[in-house]
Amino acid sequence: MIKKEFCAENFTRVPEAIELGADRIELCDRLDVGGITPSIEVIEETVAYARQRGVEVVVMIRPRGGSFIYSEAEKEHMKKEARQAIDLKADGVVFGCLTEDGDIDKPIVSELIRIADFKQTVFHMAFDAIPEEKQLESLNWLIEQGCTRILTRGAASGSALENKAAIIDLIEKSEGQIEILPGGGLTHENLEQARVEIPATQFHGTKIVPLPGF
């Protein structure tokens, strides 16, 4: 049995997505810029609705689109937003912070994991922007920190299916110590192909369930 994570822009399509089989909601705003933190009101509404139906909600913590290199003021804002999401009973938080050198920004990431207080923590596709030669070290560090999962398309561009070799390699190197969540170009139409070709237990996308008009 696989888990389908629906990437939701605010609450609007969440009821339909759950009805169509979404097992977990990644809640964002502004998908046109890759997703940013949704409002407090949207988090409250989504968590309340999903919880009644046994569906998890993880909340994007990202102050803006663009690069994953953040100023000190932006990092403080991310910590505040993460605390708010956890206080609002979200099941976890989603984030990704890098340094100018393409490494994980360890101080802020470790702090966000701590703020989550043993709830789910997800390092998002910022992972794909880490240079390939640094990814194994980054993977091991996230495991050591107790991060729950990594969302990845397997490369900085292309789809998860196109980059399946890299995702499979990451799954093998993780040795079950951290969840690997493939995303990027995955839809309800190619989900079966992804299940066959990528040995993951969960998949992510805005079209992972057959929403009308998508």
CATH number of the domain that 101 lies in? 3.20.20.380
- Residue 79 belongs to some domain of the structure: yes
The tens digit of pLDDT for each residue in 24-60 reads 999 999 999 999 999 999 999 999 999 999 999 999 9
Q: Quote the pTM value.
A: 0.97
- Residue 17 belongs to some domain of the structure: yes
User: What local confidence, expressed as pLDDT, does residue 213 receive?
Assistant: 81
Walk along the chain (214 residues) and give the pLDDT tens digit of each residue.
899 999 999 999 999 999 999 999 999 999 999 999 999 999 999 999 999 999 999 999 999 999 999 999 999 999 999 999 999 999 999 999 999 999 999 999 999 999 999 999 999 999 999 999 999 999 999 999 999 999 999 999 999 999 999 999 999 999 999 999 999 999 999 999 999 999 999 999 999 999 998 6
CA gap 20, 18 in Å, rounded: 5
- Residue 213 belongs to some domain of the structure: no
Q: Are 57 and 91 in contact (CB under 8 A)?
A: yes
Structural domain harbouring 104 = 3-205
- Residue 164 belongs to some domain of the structure: yes
- Residue 210 belongs to some domain of the structure: no
- Residue 28 belongs to some domain of the structure: yes
Q: Are 153 and 172 in contact (CB under 8 A)?
A: no
- Residue 125 belongs to some domain of the structure: yes
Q: Strand 3-9 and strand 92-95: pairing? A: unpaired
Q: Are 187 and 207 in contact (CB under 8 A)?
A: yes
> Hey, what amino acid is at 167?
I
Q: Are 24 and 3 in contact (CB under 8 A)?
A: yes
For the chain, how many structural domains are there in total?
1
Distances in Å between the alpha carbon of 205 and those of 112, 151, 195, 208? 24, 10, 14, 5
> Hey, what amino acid is at 99?
T
- Residue 212 belongs to some domain of the structure: no
The token duo for 168 is 């499979």
User: What local confidence, expressed as pLDDT, does residue 42 receive?
Assistant: 98
